[in-house]
Amino acid sequence: MNKVLRTAEMHPLTWRLRDDQRTVWLKEYCDKNGYSALKKALKEILPEDLIKIVKESGLKGRGGAGFSTGLKWSLMRKKKSHETERSYLICNADEMEPGTYKDRLLIEQIPHQLIEGIILSAYALNVSRAYIFLRGEYVKAEYILNKSIREAINAGYIGLNILGSSFNFELVLHTGAGRYICGEETALINSLEGRRANPRSKPPFPAVFGLWGKPTCINNVETLSNIPCIILNGIDWYKNLSKSSDTGTKLMGFSGKVNNPGVWELPFGTTAREILEDYACGMQSGFFLKAWQPGGAGTDFLTEKHLDLPMDFQNISKAGSRLGTALSMAVDDKVNMVSLLYNIEKFFARESCGLCTPCRDGLPWIVKILESLKQNTGHKNDVKNLEKLCSHLGPGKTFCAHAPGAIEPLQSAIKYFRAEFEAGINIKQINLNKKIIGIQDNQI
């Protein structure tokens, strides 16, 4: 991102980034208008009005689901003035989606922007304690967050009677054990409680019965990082940043055999082609684009004909995929789709919590079939069986969204590149089996 001119007016999430990619600590963050939104909110804005502002801004969750943040906040049960029941806010920083690294950038380079967003969100929700659930492998991010939290405490942004107000707040950093399933919010809650990371049945939803049975709100790192700029600059400004019906900006990027892989803050509605060609500088010499995933390993593949689609939730959904994390992966023409899907599905099978049968048994079965096709030892009905498994593991067929997400890349790869899957069927073995059966039939 250091080659792109960033401005506070157009790049609210990234304009504070240093060109040398070093961390922006508290003093520098404050010099760049940091914690001004918190000061404004505590002095001028009531918690319920802050929720209205975020709701009217149109901010959607940046973790992949794209649910309205303000609406999610409003689902938290309103506590009466005399009630002392505790409620919680959790920042989901368990970034384990293959090919995604946007939250890591925000945490490692602008940690106080996230912390300010968390404090503002806690104030709006009347929450006195929040947790950051961090991916365990993010060792550097853990160090940076711990240091930044201490800085914020020493500066009076975290603690009792923050900035002379009646708002008290505590922020706790918790590192996970490294499980993809913790991206599912109720599995994250179970893990935070010290339990096995299995999803919970819903309802009740976390907003009613969450962490330790108390009302809980869970938001993504990038989502929370948007809050300060919305409070400072207003609803109209935030909406006008976008080229789409989805408001604001989004961290987007491309990885794979591109000349300049990376992540950039761009307005919603920027086309995938613009990101690929103008920012990622196109495919490397000798490689041509074969397919691409819009937002992580758990999204359906699209092809070159879809590159002119605006990158937003609605348009990518209409094309048959999901925006997801908006960090796209370019698949070049030298990649065999069966081999690629074998690696992807092997990951998802390993990361299944094993709670429900379709996911626990279905994903390893998919891996076994793909392995045989990869080795050109596939059976006649293998491709049809893969399609059946995609149906059996689809939305509404499993306990959570893990398996439906896992079969998205598979079903789309079969749709666009069926011949590569059928090429793995061992025709000689099928003919030999027919011959053997024929001989046995003649002998009967």
Among 287, 310, 313, 288, smallest CA distance to 299 is for 313
Beta bridge partners of 88: 129, 216
Assess whether pLDDT exceeds 50 at residue 351. yes
Among 409, 257, 258, smallest CA distance to 343 is for 409
| Whole-number pLDDT of residue 316 | 96
pLDDT in tens, 383-417: 999 999 999 999 999 999 999 999 999 999 999 99
* Contact criterion met (CB below 8 Å) for 54 and 180: no
pLDDT in tens, 57-114: 999 999 888 899 999 999 986 655 455 678 999 999 999 999 899 999 999 999 999 9
Rounded to two decimals, what is the model's pTM? 0.92
Residue with tokens 């010099």: 31
Q: Do the bridges between strand 170-175 and strand 216-220 make them parallel or antiparallel, or are there none, so unpaired?
A: unpaired
Residues in the chain, how many?
444
Rounded to the nearest integer, the mean pLDDT of the chain is 92
Assigned fold of 26-239? Rossmann fold (3.40.50)
DSSP 1-14: -TTS---TTT-TTT
Assess whether pLDDT exceeds 60 at residue 133. yes
Class of domain 242-332: alpha beta
CA distance 249 to 266: 5
DSSP 231-299: HHH-HHHHHHT-SSSS-SEEEEEEEESBSS-EEEEEETT-BHHHIIIIIS-SBPTT--EEEEESSSTTS
CATH assignment of 337-427, among 3.40.50.800, 3.40.50.2000, 1.20.1440.230, 3.10.290.10: 1.20.1440.230
Domain locations along the chain: 26-239, 242-332, 337-427
Assess whether pLDDT exceeds 60 at residue 366. yes
Q: Band of the pLDDT at 436, cuts 50, 70, 90?
A: low
Q: Band of the pLDDT at 435, cuts 50, 70, 90?
A: low
CA distance 399 to 169: 35
pLDDT in tens, 151-182: 999 999 999 999 999 999 999 999 998 889 99
